[in-house]
Amino acid sequence: MGDLPSLTVSTPGQARLLLDPALLTPLGHLLRGEVSAAELARACGLSVQQAHHRLTRLRAAGLVVVTQEQARAGRPVKRYRAAARAFRVPFALTDHATLSDLVAGLHRDPLAQQHERVGRMLAAQPGRHLNVHLNARGQVTLDFDGFEDVLDSVISAHRLAYLSPADAQELDTRVQSLFDWLDEHAQSRAEGLVPRLLGVFLTPGDR
């Protein structure tokens, strides 16, 4: 992939596909190297039909290409990769008026799905309640009583911190290292593996 050029997209349709949250994970695998539809399906937790549908959309837009066809009984197995090592999307081609709108759109669907899932888990039941209190650092904290059956592995924290430039850089480095570690150890969906959904939002600012 290193010898491929980057590509500046030229149509709103291409921009829409590249910014579609449902396509970001498959696109990541296609940017990393060649995959078949079956391999993409396993890596992304999709059915083969769903993987084919995503590949068809990306190919029709010129964002994915077929690299080879492996002969076999019946239909040949095609292998795919991204059409470039990176894509540049002019902001004017997006459906968003501001950067804030774009970022909100990218996160809206995953957050809505997660809130719905957590809402089902935390259904109101007698004996379950919330505690709002100050923790040992004097920060307002929300925790739960009676939800141990569903929250045994949930870690959630929101912090605003004012840091020196050196410490801010250290924080950026540590967060990136966490994602590098996750990429190194993550596997395709399989029996016996434990799913974890990780979301980190780190940005300059105080709001």
What whole-number distance in Å separates Cα of residue 157 and Cα of residue 159?
7
Structure tokens belonging to residue 14: 């291409």
Instruction: Check residue 75 and give left, alpha or beta (phi > 0: left; psi -120 to 50: alpha).
Output: beta
In 140-159, which positions are buried (b, 16+ CB within 10 angstroms) versus exposed (e)?
eeeeeeebeeeeeeeeeeee
In this prediction, residue 136 carries a pLDDT of 76
Query: Cα dist. 107→19, 60, 88, 104, 134 in Å?
Result: 11, 25, 20, 5, 29
Confidence of residue 39 (pLDDT cuts 50, 70, 90): very high
Whether the per-residue pLDDT at 53 is higher than 90: the answer is: yes
What whole-number distance in Å separates Cα of residue 45 and Cα of residue 42?
5
Average pLDDT over residues 97-116: 68
In this prediction, residue 124 carries a pLDDT of 59
Radius of gyration of the chain (CA): 21
Every domain of the chain and the residues it spans: 7-93
For residue 20, count other CB atoms closer than 10 A to its CB: 17
Which CATH number applies to 7-93?
1.10.10.10
Residue whose pair of structure tokens reads 């596909």 in the numeric block: 17
Average pLDDT over residues 121-138: 68
pLDDT in tens, 159-184: 778 889 999 999 989 988 988 888 78
Confidence of residue 19 (pLDDT cuts 50, 70, 90): confident
Instruction: Check residue 39 and give left, alpha or beta (phi > 0: left; psi -120 to 50: alpha).
Output: alpha
Counts of helices then strands in the chain (DSSP H, E): 7, 7
pTM equals 0.59
